[in-house]
A and B are shown apart, each in its own frame.
Chain A
Amino acid sequence: MTDDVAIEIRDLAVTFGVDRGESNVVRNVDLDVYREETLGIVGESGSGKSMVALSLLDAVPEPGTVSGEVTYYPEDGDPISVLDLDPEELRRFRWEQVAMVFQGAMTSFNPVMSIRDHFRETLQDHGYDVPAGMERGKEILEQLYLDPDRVLDSHPHELSGGMQQRTLIALSLLLEPEVLLLDEPTAALDLLMQRSIIDLLRGIRETFDLTLVFITHDLPLLTKIADRMAVMYAFDFVEITETDQLLYHSAHPYTRALLSTTPDLTTPPDEIRTIEGNKPDPVEYISGCSYHPRCPMAEEKCHSIEPELMTVETEHEASCHYHAEVPETVPIRNNPRGVADE
């Protein structure tokens, strides 16, 4: 793994105008995605994870507005400012440089078209050589343990959920993108299928020299594949560091609370913990640290001054005024890897 940057996000904000005011679903986010790493973005539902991912493709749905900078550094060639592309450039950029696999592969295919047509039209509209591309597609499908001819001849509804998910991953790799965004790619799958998808992703990551950005609320799952993790809370990143560092030496009270609430297969239902308090509202502005209403360590300073991401160690940042004291004050109650090590 090299440390040069593939995608650089600076001051990214996504806002929606709603009846009661302005809804800030991403608040001035900074993030670097390193080339050929697997970056996990974790956070609770509605924390803004998906919006960050969509911003990387300038695909935030109407009427949302995006501001800030997203710079993509191709392996060879000049940096591309994604948010400044004209519609045709953006169309070519999508899927050729950065592809995205969605949650719910079942609804990602056109129900009236065969899988083959999905592959073919993707090649055609991006001006790729169709016969060569189809051969490539078949190879990728094979690598994902699918029977290429059978799958290509099928219509989406004829495939099982796991097969659709793998087919969608194959489709996302068809144009040889450098970066693959995965938004809850395992959300609708059972545990065994989740595990096999993760194994497959590990495999293709090596084969295709991919940079993966994996978005999920499933922390134990993420620990199995992510090199680095970025924890999102209240529409901003609160802690970014390498996976092991995060699991054993997290320096943010929210991350530690999140790790403590992670249930595993042996946790009885009545012992499943939650984080006290309510999740933040995108319209209301919280002064100071966004986590202070729920934080057991909150002090005077946390109410008034918003903490920036601060360096805890090399490659470890956390946005907490008291990050040095966090590990002693807030214990992690679970084996942080959950079921991963068993």
Chain B
Amino acid sequence: MHPRYVLKRTGQMVLTFFVTVTFTFALYQAMPGGPAEAMRAMILAESGQVGGSVNLDLLNQMVEHYANVNPDKPLHVQYYNYLHSLLIQGDMGTSIYQGEPVLDLILQSVPWTMFIGVYALALGYTVSLFLGAVMAYKERSLFDSVASIGVIFLNSVPYYIFAIILVYVLGIEYSVFPINGRYGTFVDPGFTLEYMSSVVRHATLPVVSMGILATGGALTMRGNAIRVLGDDYVRVAELRGLRRSRVAMQYVGRNSVLPLYTQFMIGIAGVLSSTVVVEEIFAYNGMGKLLYDAVLLHDYPVLMGTLLVFTTITLLAIYIADLTYGYIDPRISTGDSNE
């Protein structure tokens, strides 16, 4: 791989990250009424209820403690302090409502969101790749038409509608799967079979609802596979007497999945954003629910922290996709056309 290309992509990623951080900071300042202002008013109101007098310096300190922003300092100083505490100290502020550091809250919920997110992506894309490939092989058959209509339907109806239907049918009517929480109330966390199976059972419905989001790839896969099936090298491979399985995997499969790879990595962002609604529907305590609740409670530090993490994960996914694409498609990395 070209070192200059890596350098360029890394630079782009870092730049994007800083733009995001700056944007997050600007949001702090620009939100209606201003979050710092709002926080100040909130603390004032609370202390007013208790009846104590308010020290203005103390108030500003409290606001800075919670939000990492001191409203009385000049903007550039605030910006510098915000960056400094975020990047050097890893401090994202403190949740107004839960009183815990935002970083701790995020670290507690990230694994759960990754868990259902990764499985939803894996499930959704595996199904769509297979479905798309079969549709392409049986182009214009009844199966192709029915599956196309099905996939278009699944993608036209918002995934959260399916989530609600799943909750109603499988959760409430038939009680096949639990409908809220990350694991059963009476199950002790640990490396026990009971705990594991409880985790998997609780994750099933959220994963399926989010997986539906990824089935749109089936139509793209179908299109790619039909195009590749018409390519000369597939015909030559057949004339070369290669095994059908090899032609299907190495020739048709690999070449039709290639263009989907980037889409898959960007899809991580889509799945992450869908966790916001899905986790709320299933009362699943992950990043998505953390963000959703933060919006409702005006818990700005948490909101900003989760937004930052979502952005970072998306940026990393695209970065990794760009850097690894050359290994999957040798035509990319060896050419000097990246300049």
The yes or no answer to B232 lying at the interface (CB within 8 A) is: yes
Question: How far apart sit A155 and B251, CA to CA, in the bound complex (Å)?
Answer: 14
Q: How far is the CA of A126 from the CA of B246 in the complex (A)?
A: 12
Given known contacts A108-B236, A112-B255, A155-B330, A125 and B242 CB-to-CB distance under 8 angstroms: yes
The answer, among A113, A114, A126, A155, for a CB contact under 8 Å with B241, is A126
Chain A residue contacts of B240, Cβ below 8 A: 94-95, 99, 122, 171
Judged by a CB distance under 8 angstroms, whether A311 is at the interface is: no
Tell me how far the C-beta of B219 lies from the nearest C-beta in chain A, rounded to whole angstroms: 23
Asked if A125 meets B246 with Cβ closer than 8 Å, knowing A94-B239, A94-B241, the reply is yes
Query: In chain A, what residue has the closest Cβ to B255?
Result: A112
Q: Which 6 A-B pairs have the closest CB atoms?
A: A107-B232, A94-B241, A95-B241, A108-B236, A155-B330, A91-B241
Who on chain A is nearest to B258 by CB? Answer: A112
Task: Please give, as numbers and ranges, the residues of chain A lying within 8 Å of B329 by CB-CB distance.
Answer: 111-112
Partner among B239, B251, B255, B331 whose Cβ is within 8 Å of the Cβ of A100: B239
The answer to whether A110 touches B241, judged by C-beta atoms less than 8 angstroms apart, is no
Total contacts A to B, CB within 8 angstroms? 73
Within residues 232 to 275 of chain B, which ones have a CB less than 8 A from any CB in chain A? 232-233, 235-243, 246, 250-251, 254-255, 258
**Closest-CB distance, A100 to chain B (whole angstroms):** 5
User: For the complex, what is the distance from the CA of A158 to the CA of B155, rounded to whole Å?
Assistant: 41
The interface of chain A, by Cβ under 8 A from chain B, is 57, 59, 61, 91-96, 99-100, 102, 104, 107-114, 121-122, 125-126, 155, 157-158, 171
The complex places the Cα of A310 from the Cα of B159 at a distance, in Å, of: 73
For residue B231, give the distance in angstroms from its CB to the closest CB of chain A.
7
B250 touches A121 (CB 8 A): yes
Decide if B10 is an interface residue (CB 8 Å cutoff): no
**B231–A107 contact, CB under 8 A?**
yes
Asked if A121 meets B232 with Cβ closer than 8 Å, knowing A111-B255, A155-B330, the reply is: no
A155 near B236: Cβ-Cβ < 8 Å: no
Q: A111-B233, A112-B258 are in contact. Are A93 and B331 (CB under 8 A)?
A: no
B233 contacts A95, C-beta separation under 8 Å: no
For the complex formed, measure the closest distance between the CB of A286 and the CB atoms of chain B, giving whole angstroms. 31
Residues on the B chain within 8 Å of A157, using CB: 330-331, 334-335
Set of chain A residues within 8 Å of B250, measured between Cβ atoms = 110, 113, 121
Determine if A96 and B241 form an interchain contact, defined as CB atoms under 8 angstroms apart.
Answer: yes
Residues of chain A with a CB closer than 8 A to B231's CB: 107
- Contact indicator B330/A112 (Cβ below 8 Å): yes
B137 to chain A, nearest CB (A): 12
Interface positions, chain B 104-138, Cβ under 8 Å from A, are: none
Does the CB pair A122–B242 fall under 8 Å?
yes
State A12–B101 Cα separation when bound (angstroms).
81
B231, B235, B258 interface centre (most CB from chain A within 10 Å): B235
Q: What residues of chain A lie closer than 8 Å to B41, measured between beta carbons?
A: none
Within 8 A of A (CB), among B40-82: none
Within 8 A of A (CB), among B198-246: 231-233, 235-243, 246
Least CB separation from B245: chain A residue: A125
User: Which residue from chain A places its CB closest to the CB of B328 in the assembled complex?
Assistant: A112
